[in-house]
Chains A and B, each alone.
Chain A
Amino acid sequence: MMDTMLETDESTVIALVVDDNKRVLKAKRELLHDQGIITFGVTNYHDAIREFRSVPRVDMVITDINLSTDELYSGKDTSGATLAQVLRAISSELPIYGYSAIFAEGQISDELSGAFTAYYPEGKLTLDQQLEYAVAWKAAAVQHRDQRLERAKHELERLKASYQMPDPNYSTLRDLTPGSGPTEDQDSIEEVLERAGYRIKLIEPGGARPRIDGAYARTRGPIVLWIRESGGITIAEVYAYPELYGHGETEERAIADVLLLMDGYANDLQGDDASSLDPKVLRLRNYLNSVLEV
């Protein structure tokens, strides 16, 4: 999963498709594939939730309204409408489309249907209708994706600006950045780090991250990382917090390492009273809380 964590090609659209009928699922994925959309297909509610949390970025969700109940979880409503409600709680703007292959079975209350961007309870759709909908779905997904990317870029700029002022701790950063050498005080942190061979990497808000309990979560982000090859290994450091660094033989492993470290520190500091923390550590906790879902 980590191998795909940061493969965020901005031109792609990623859709999660949910249908308990594998033939219908395959047909839906082919329909979307023909529109140039990358799809992840799952056949039940629980796999959908897990996949949504672990796929780096989902631009839209298309689900059968009448998903069959998983016997393991009998008693719990695992319909597509419930799935839409859960996903809507996570993202208020995510395009979520529901459909029912059988006429009228997909009829649901206004309350439940409210979680969908649109839903189609009228039964089997003609090929022309499906193509028409697929084009509209893609347009909505592209809009959603672009809005997210735009917000991420703004947030990155805001972070950079906030780091430049009012009181960046240049000396600490230089101390902790081997190879940066003597520099003038007026140099920006970016200049210092680039001179030392680092390059910037952004994990967008909503990106998948590993947790120390073995599960995956999504970042509240954005998280800015500085990446540097060093002696055959890759070091990933978190922007604004040079104390937070991870390493691995590949960039993905180094990033996973630093994200695990952040999750660990977030856990360590979660229950502490603010008065028991030095301002520096308190600032670290606030930072972790702002970028991770604790």
Chain B
Amino acid sequence: MQISTADAWRVLRKLKFELSDCKHHVRGFFTLDGKKLFPVHFSFGNKDLPGNVPEKFRKSLYLSEAEIRELFACHIDRLRYEQLLRVRGVLPPGKTFGSKTA
């Protein structure tokens, strides 16, 4: 699937990633309870992320193809995303709702 840099930027903000950017990259960390858990990034320079970079971007978010489509269609918010990460074992089991974010 094609992912534009604008869309990538939008979903990372929506998922409340802690982001920093410079001329070349947008870098971010998924943060929970003030703890940086995993990194994600994409590069500027193309309207759409090139080659297999969209695939890498998707996998760095720990999402399936169907889920990332849902994400871009605005059907996945931060809370739902946390649930998905718990299912995948990226986040430890714990309270599902109302967890404290960054």
Contacts and interface: CB of A to CB of B under 8 A. Distances in A.
Contacts, number: 77
Contacts of B39: 243, 265, 281, 284
A1 interface: no
Interface string B46-79: 0000111101100110000000000000000000
Interface in B26-60: 27, 29, 34-41, 43, 50-53, 55-56, 59-60
Given A176-B56, A243-B39, A265 B50 contact: no
State the majority secondary structure of interface residues on A.
mixed
Contacts of B95: none
Given A235-B51, A235-B53, A247-B51, A281 B25 contact: no
A227 to B, nearest CB: 13
A284 B41 CA distance: 14
Contacts of B50: 231-233, 247
Q: Which of A246, A268, A275 has the most CB atoms of chain B within a 10 A radius of its CB?
A: A268
Interface string A257-292: 100110011001100100111101100100000000
A257 B42 CA distance: 10
Contacts of A257: 24-25, 43
A43 to B, nearest CB: 32
Nearest to A277: B36
Contact of A261 (B24, B51, B52, B56): B24
A212 B52 contact: no
Given A268-B29, A276-B35, A176 B59 contact: yes
Interface size class of chain A, counting residues whose CB lies under 8 Å from the partner chain: 20 to 34
Nearest to B28: A268
Nearest to B30: A278
Interface size class of chain B, counting residues whose CB lies under 8 Å from the partner chain: 20 to 34
B1 interface: no
Given A178-B56, A247-B50, A247-B51, A280 B37 contact: yes
20 contacts: A178-B52, A212-B22, A230-B51, A230-B52, A235-B51, A260-B25, A261-B27, A261-B43, A264-B25, A264-B41, A265-B27, A268-B29, A272-B36, A275-B35, A276-B36, A278-B35, A278-B38, A280-B37, A280-B38, A281-B37
B33 to A, nearest CB: 9
A281 B38 contact: yes
Contact of B24 (A231, A232, A260): A260
A232 B51 CA distance: 7
Contacts of A235: 51-53
B56 A245 contact: yes
B37 A264 contact: no
A248 B20 CA distance: 21
Given A247-B51, A281-B37, A261 B25 contact: yes
B24 A278 contact: no
A261 B56 CA distance: 15
A20 B59 CA distance: 55
B23 interface: yes
A278 B33 CA distance: 11
Contacts of B34: 276
